Structure formats: structure tokens, C-alpha cells
Amino acid sequence: MFRKVIVISIIFVSSISMAFAFRIYAKPSLSYLSTAVSGDPSKVYAPAIAAGLSHTFNKYFYVGVEAYWIPNTVPVNNETNTYKISYQYSLSLLPGIAFDNTVTGYLRLGMLRSNFSSLNTIASASQVGAGLEYSLSPTWSATGEYDYVRYRDNEIVGSATTDQFTLGLMYKFNV
């Protein structure tokens, strides 16, 4: 059953990509997260994998949809106030502008969920950010991005926020 759902999803995404000239991409990345829970900062590294659809239309306008997943975080040092995130996933809309054939600037507007295993809670958040994509070739791009994450208030994490800096390498599939 699970295989059928995966196959149907791949066929569906491929047909959308061909019908609307969207490019499917995969992007491994590494993020540096500085999360403040109740004003107490915690710094971690986070490897991530992202997948999405993107399209440049009218030569200058860019739009994309991206989902990413962070499987685990690694503390920067042995601070006692490190808030471990055991996983995080997000869905984002990426509107932007293509400055030329190689550089694209974009905004990230998204929602995410994080599992704070050290606090034994799952928290939802909104995410806004800005990034640049530099095309190395027709299929490879390098990305850099800053995101601000604001978690919804709850009893455990309070009004937590995260400053996230990300570097990634994107591969665009030719479909």
C-alpha cells in the first residue's frame, strides 16, 4: 500500500511539473539554528533535506513550493541550555525575482513543526526569510538563506524564536 502511494505521488508531481513547466528539485543543506526558549539561547547545527517545485515566468518572476525535513540537530557546544530538536518539518511558499540568468532572490513564507525532545513537546511555528540562489549550471545551484521562526505560545516553550542560517546545494531534475 505504501509503495502504491509513493508511486502515485511521483506520477502526480511529475505530471504537474510537465503540465506547468515547473522544475522538480532536491536540496541537501546545513543550517545553523539559534533558538531562544524563554530568552535562553541554544545553538545547534542541523542537516536537512528539501524537495520542491519551482518556476520562473515572464523572465523575471520566480515562484516555488518547498518542503523540508531536519532529522536531528547537533549541539554547537556542551552548553546546559541546549534545546535538542529531534525532528522538524516545514512547508513553504517561495515568491521571488530572477535578477539575471544566474541569480534569483526569494522570500520564504512557511509553517513548520518542531519536536523539542529535551522539553518533551511538539511546537508549531510560522517562518519568514530571504534567500539567494546562484546557478552553477543548468541543473546545479547553490543557495544561502536567513529565516526567522516564531513559535506559537504554549506553556512549555513560551514564546520561542529561532534565527536560522542555511547553505544548500540544489539539484534540478530535467523532466
| Fold for the domain defined by 22-172 | Porin (2.40.160)
pLDDT of residue 11: 66
Asked if residue 81 has pLDDT above 70, the reply is no
Neighbours of 60 (CB within 10 A): 12
Residue pair 17/46 in contact by the 8 Å Cβ criterion:
no
pTM: 0.81
Among the ranges given (29-33, 56-60, 116-120, 133-137), the one the predictor scored with the smallest mean pLDDT: 116-120
Distance CA 23, CA 16 (A): 10
% of the chain surpassing 70 pLDDT: 80
pLDDT digits (tens, 9 = 90+) for 119-149: 788 888 999 999 999 999 999 999 999 999 9
pLDDT of residue 49: 94
Distance CA 54, CA 46 (A): 24
Burial label, 42 (beta-carbon count in 10 A; 0-12, 13-18, 19+): buried
